Structure 1
Amino acid sequence: MSQMLFNPFQDLIFDEHFCFLSGVLTNEEMTVFPEWLMAYFKFGDERVEMMDKAKSYHYEDLKLPCSPEVKKAFDDLDLKIQEAYKKGYEGMAALDQQLLFQWTGRMVYGLLYYEMVYERDVLLRKGEDFELSPVLRKRFSEFHLMLQSIIEPISFVGKKPWSIVVFPLKYSADIFSYRDDAINLMFSFGVNGFGFIACLQDNGVIGESQKEVLDKIEGHVLHPVQFEELYARFHYTDYIMQYSPEYNIENLDDRITIEVDETGKPPHFGHWDEDVYAQLLSNYWQVYGIEKDHILPPQRPRLSFLENPYTKDFVEPDSISLPF
């Protein structure tokens, strides 16, 4: 059955007349970011930059061609997310993680779609062919297949292909914080009440690598500076992860099953470079005026708002004097 499903990365098809998910001809479209989310947090007229910083769009102008079936599926999903959102952390934490994968995946894929179109058009103007490495083509194809689970009978068997963590979070009212890395299929989302971090195709490896700190967080309402640090840890761990997720994909008569293949080379990580990590973390903490030199002071351990650098005890959020 999977051979019958649309795969835009096979022939690099990113055309405004083909549904981004099903590939059917269409004249309809949907926003990359849910309309209710942009309206509630009033960021539709703000700008988002492409990776090379040379091109930017208003969030509300980011739109994907879609079939009526796909639009309805995501509209229905949005209603479920909105209902959970109204209940705060408890509502979001109770959601099936597959729903969070699909909801987050829509935004991450939408940004990835625009990156593909932008890069293709730049190369065409130069008279060059648009190509992707075999590694990226495989990763994005599998991600697209998983996202099709919102409209197709696709099920995930056993271990899930993602790491998604949801936790209580304290922000000032009506603040919305998100970060994404479309190429590495990562996303973070934080508002007053809850936050979550999603690595959409790591087979749970990154979540497992951060289990120690996640266990310490349990039962606490995080300060935003802790949320940013946690995402930095996830992001940098993804950067040094030396692991290629593999899947057993079975085509049955009326459905597809996707199972994480754990028979290959086990995951491992490259060297954790404190200097590189501190630079990444400083990018996330710049709103607090925290620079790289503050994070890595001479002759002292790295600054952390998650763990005491000497005892490794969890830092109580109420003890942090920074604004939220």
Structure 2
Amino acid sequence: MNTALYNPFKNFDFKNNKCFLSGDTFLSPLATVNVLPDWLLSMANLSGNEQIQLLDETIRTYKSLVVPANVTVFDNFISPLEDKVALAFGKGYEGVSALPEIDLFNWIGKLMYSFLYIEMQGAIRLQQLSGDGMNMSQGLMHKFGNLHTMLQSIYREVVLEDFAPWSIIVVPLENENTPFSFRDEINTLTFSLKFKDFGIIACLQDNGTNKRYHQEIIDSIKDKKLSEQQFEEIAARFFYSAYLFNRLPEYNIMLVEDIIYIDAMPLKGMQNKPLFDTWANKTYGQVLENFWKPWGHTLFEIIKDPTAPMSYFDEPFLPAS
């Protein structure tokens, strides 16, 4: 096993010729792995023929979304993680809320990085990226590279020095038969999923800042079952605040005796401005309109009172605008 730190963004390794997670770390052959695992499609009663539109505007089916993984990595590390998450999903909120956050981070991160891997292939095909990647934001490459480094903990020892790089919340839903759906935003590495009687919201590279930003509403819903509208409202807040988050987290990453040690640098740094840009209710209303599309709420209806956007909560606890 080669224990050197693998960074696919250095040479743009998205050609399906090495493991998407570990690179050339192991000598065993490659296998093709579904991004959305078979157990999830089966549990959600999906055929795999459902379609998704990628950033390059191509339409793909769920089952056509695949990444290359080393057989050793898949059999010994990815598959056990999938089994653990599948068991939790099978139990619903009770099971998912009991999962260690590191397992949720690794599973969601692996899912989002798999999508990113496929999106990078599409971008390269469209020549949106040059060979050395200079046409892509250096900040984004840095952020994606940090996520990939943290995901190495799926198959090797990674020590997070007294911090968690994520904000993750798991909430119970009123409808115990909520159909499976998810959404993600790759630039901000934000993700939400609802299924059965639970919902998950995650920001993968914020050092817990978005969760602290919304702590009042999170505290107010503790142990309360949410309607789907309420869940989407909370998700919209996280997706919007992740957009307003104006720091690029920096980490000291050290490889010592085959163990990766990661230490977070202070987010404040040398900047005096707040961690989030100013909350704008009109922009938030536009996000909400998209998240509430199944219920037909218009932007006019949502921000009829510009100082108090529509909410499904008696006490909205919105950030100051």
Give the structure-1-normalised TM-score. 0.89
Point out where structure 2 has 5 or more consecutive residues left out of the alignment.
none
How far 1:51 moved relative to its partner? 2.1
Runs of 4+ in 1 over 3 A off after TM superposition: 126-131
Q: Does 1:10 align with 2:10?
A: yes
Give the letter for the 1:272 counterpart: W
Give the superposed CA RMSD. 2.4
How far 1:308 moved relative to its partner? 3.4
Classify the secondary structure of the residue corresponding to 2:292: helix
| Equivalent of residue 36 in structure 2, options 18, 21, 33 | 33
Matched with 1:165 is 169
Q: Does 1:69 align with 2:72?
A: yes
Matched with 2:45 is 42
Give the alignment of 1:140-179 within 5 angstroms.
Answer: 140-171=144-175, 173=177, 175-179=179-183
Classify the secondary structure of the residue corresponding to 2:21: coil
| CA distance in structure 1 between the partners assigned to 2:186 and 2:250 by the alignment | 19
CA shift in 2, pair 1:87/1:49, >3 Å: same
Give the alignment of 1:1-324 within 5 angstroms.
Answer: 4-24=4-24, 26-43=29-46, 44-52=48-56, 54-72=57-75, 73-123=77-127, 130-131=133-134, 132-171=136-175, 173=177, 175-262=179-266, 264-265=269-270, 268-298=275-305, 301-308=308-315
Give the letter for the 1:31 counterpart: N
| CA distance in structure 1 between the partners assigned to 2:23 and 2:90 by the alignment | 34
| CA distance in structure 1 between the partners assigned to 2:22 and 2:285 by the alignment | 42
How far 1:129 moved relative to its partner? 7.0
Stretch deviating more after TM superposition (242-251 or 263-272): 263-272
How far 1:192 moved relative to its partner? 2.1
| CA distance in structure 2 between the partners assigned to 1:105 and 1:307 by the alignment | 33
| CA distance in structure 2 between the partners assigned to 1:300 and 1:182 by the alignment | 30
Stretch deviating more after TM superposition (110-119 or 34-43): 34-43
Classify the secondary structure of the residue corresponding to 1:137: helix
How far 1:104 moved relative to its partner? 0.6
Classify the secondary structure of the residue corresponding to 2:188: coil
How far 1:15 moved relative to its partner? 1.1
| CA distance in structure 1 between the partners assigned to 2:131 and 2:255 by the alignment | 37
| CA distance in structure 2 between the partners assigned to 1:279 and 1:103 by the alignment | 30
Give the letter for the 1:251 counterpart: L
Deviations 1:99-128 (A, max 9, x none): 00111111101111111100100118x998
Classify the secondary structure of the residue corresponding to 1:272: coil
Give the letter for the 2:74 counterpart: K
CA contact (8 A) 1:123 1:130 kept: no
Point out where structure 1 has 5 or more consecutive residues left out of the alignment.
314-324
Residues paired across the two proteins, number: 309
| CA distance in structure 1 between the partners assigned to 2:79 and 2:249 by the alignment | 30
| CA distance in structure 2 between the partners assigned to 1:152 and 1:87 by the alignment | 28
CA contact (8 A) 2:109 2:204 kept: yes
Give the letter for the 2:17 counterpart: H
Deviations 1:281-309 (A, max 9, x none): 10010100111111011577210113436
Classify the secondary structure of the residue corresponding to 1:66: strand
Classify the secondary structure of the residue corresponding to 2:160: strand
Deviations 1:214-235 (A, max 9, x none): 0001010011101101010001
Give the letter for the 1:6 counterpart: Y
Give the letter for the 1:171 counterpart: N
